[in-house]
Amino acid sequence: MRSPAELYDWELAHVAGRWHQDLASYAAVAARTGGPVLELACGTGRLTAPLGAVGLDVDADMLAGARRRGVRRLVRADMRRFALAQRFALVALPYNSLQLLVDDADAVACLRCAVSHLAPGGMLALEVTDFQAGAVRASVGVELLGRADGVTLHGALEHDFSRRLTTYHRRFEEGGETRVDHVMLRCLDWAELERLLERACLRLVGLSEEGHRLFCVASPHQCADGHQPPSAPAASRRALALATRDRARLA
């Protein structure tokens, strides 16, 4: 059976219909801010490669996929706590990746870490979706989601309305083998996202909406409690390894 990263790309292509639809939004912000660009939770490099970004992800399989796509600058790290020497004009957090962090503390830690890696005048761009908007049932039973290239995917959803969490259950089948996984995502509407941004000393500077999906651009500002935007402690910084001799540090 294909690797999880390969199945992820298959699902994007054959079920989610997500390939380069969001590239123009991030490219437009990058054109305004200039480079360099850092993408958090970069996955297999779907956007990292065309943006010419540094890609950061905690999953080695995803990073291997990004490398196969031609992304040269990759870092394996947790997006809640990383420390790079380089500063970036744009930090991107695409395709609902912030929503993988279901606790407020983890989401704010990620946003604060992103802010600490922004160059002066830098911006954060991200996308979030409210998966529960319009939902009336707590669960959606197993359905056939897609079948192509020898792969079949069935999926189901469970909504925890009180906790604003949605769990996506997947079952991939290929060549007589089966892979089952479960992805829990927090749901975010604009008010919930705004609260997280404020706690990370970020202020909205741009917003577009498509259905229940929000694309947001934010910049650092002084927090309501008077604190300045976070900066990475000098003692915890490590150089971003770009040269060949340092590649052992990278995923």
**Strand (E) or helix (H) holding 7:** helix 4-11
Question: Are the C-beta atoms of 234 and 81 separated by less than 8 Å?
Answer: no
Q: Residue 241: is its pLDDT beyond 70? A: no
pLDDT tier, 226 (very low <50, low <70, confident <90, very high otherwise): low
| Interval 4-15 mean pLDDT | 96
Q: Is the C-alpha dihedral spanning 86, 9, 23, 186 positive or negative? A: negative
Query: Kind of pairing, strands 88-93 and 118-129?
Result: parallel
Inter-CA distances, 106 with 79, 102, 113, 128, 159, Å: 9, 7, 10, 16, 21
Q: What is the pLDDT of residues 21-74, one digit of tens each?
A: 899 999 999 999 999 999 999 999 999 999 999 999 999 999 999 999 999 999
Mean of all residue pLDDT scores within the chain: 90
Sheet strands side by side (includes 151-160): 139-148, 151-160, 165-174, 177-186
Name the residue among 66, 65, 116 with its Cα closest to residue 91: 116
Question: Within a 10 A sphere around the Cβ of 77, how many other Cβ atoms?
Answer: 18
Q: What is the pLDDT of residue 224?
A: 62
Q: Which residue has the higher pLDDT, 232 or 249?
A: 232
Domains and CATH numbers, the chain: 4-129+188-249 (3.40.50.150), 139-186 (2.20.25)
pLDDT tier, 230 (very low <50, low <70, confident <90, very high otherwise): low
Q: What is the pLDDT of residues 87-114, one digit of tens each?
A: 999 999 999 999 999 999 999 999 999 9
On whether the pTM is more than 0.95, the answer is: no
The residues facing 217 across adjacent strands are 125, 206
Q: What is the pLDDT of residues 180-211, one digit of tens each?
A: 999 999 999 999 999 999 999 999 999 999 99
| Interval 117-128 mean pLDDT | 97
